[in-house]
Structure 1
Amino acid sequence: MSAEKRPVLKLQLSFVDKGLEALGLLLLLTGWTYLVLAYSKLPESIPTHFSISGKPNAFGHKSDLYNLMTVATALYLLLTIANLFPQYFNYLRSITAENARRQYTIATRILRYLKVMIVFIFVALVWITARY
């Protein structure tokens, strides 16, 4: 990080930001709920890797699905915490008092989109694997 002193701001969440936060949390809770409800119905051995043609070529215990959801939850929490400190992000422009709010808002919104996409991918992996 450069030696410049960046302003520390408390950003107000817009409607879009609140919606993204709610969507990410809803996806995460949906993934956990689905896993807990479907777990007893799953076979002991589930596919853990698929070939390019979509055929499973590696198998593992069904408890491996909990690992996927745990990683999704950990990433969700880490990105949520990181979003609290936008003054430490890397930016293409120098951050000044005049542009800090806009730059921080853009950066934190990008992280919110990323958080939703990551959780969606992990939940989709759990769902696809459980349904196979």
Structure 2
Amino acid sequence: MKEEIKVYRTKEGTIFEVIFLILAIVVWGLIIWFVKQAPDIVPTHFDASGSPNAWGSAVRISIPCAIITIVGISMMILCYFPKCFNLAEKHKTPRNYALSIRMLRIFGLFMLLLALVIAWTSLRSTSHSPIPIISIIVIMVIIAIYTSIATHRN
């Protein structure tokens, strides 16, 4: 029987959490400022070419940003519950848990950046380009693939 993995507070974890907190304050300060500066009606959805195809209140943009932020907070909290990680029995090693925890923390930070990009493209940008959102998602996929490969390496 394998011993149960426990997650303790580490210097790396504390650094990630402090960065997350500072970034969350900055991001939400900017989002609130963007909402206050935005006109009454703003584009709320864009088609594949970047043209707006739905319009609405500036406050409405804060809803997906809040949901994405909650997902980021959840990722930071899940780092302390290794039972939630779906690792195969042969891959349940401290190293693999450490990699998975690091990936979750990085994703938590990226969630805040994704919320900021969504607010920026709808409320501040004069033209919409899907490049910032796509680049954040591509980076997240690369990190997930790297962590998956590193976890399965023996």
Aligned to 1:35: 31
Query: Please, what TM-score do these two structures have when normalized by structure 1?
Result: 0.78
2:65, 2:118 within 8 Å by CA — same for their partners in 1? Answer: no
Aligned to 1:128: 121
* Distance 1:35-1:12 versus aligned 2 partners, 3 A rule: closer
1:71 & 1:82 partners in 2: Cα distance? 16
Aligned to 1:52: 48
Given the alignment, which residue of 71, 75, 89 partners 1:75?
71
Aligned to 2:16: 20
Structure with greater helix share of residues: 2
| 3-state SS in 1 of match to 2:90 | coil
Aligned to 1:11: 8
Aligned to 2:82: 86
Deviation at 1:54, TM superposition (A): 1.4
2:83 matches 1:117: no
Letter in 1 for 2:28: W
Task: Please give the root-mean-square deviation of Cα atoms over the aligned residues, in Å.
Answer: 2.3
Letter in 1 for 2:42: I
Gaps of 5+ in 1: none
1:108 & 1:91 partners in 2: Cα distance? 12
Deviation at 1:129, TM superposition (A): 1.1
2:97 matches 1:104: yes
Count of matched residue pairs = 125
Report sequence identity in percent.
Answer: 23
Letter in 2 for 1:103: N
Q: Which has the higher contact order (CA 8 A, sep 6+)?
A: 1
2:117 & 2:18 partners in 1: Cα distance? 18
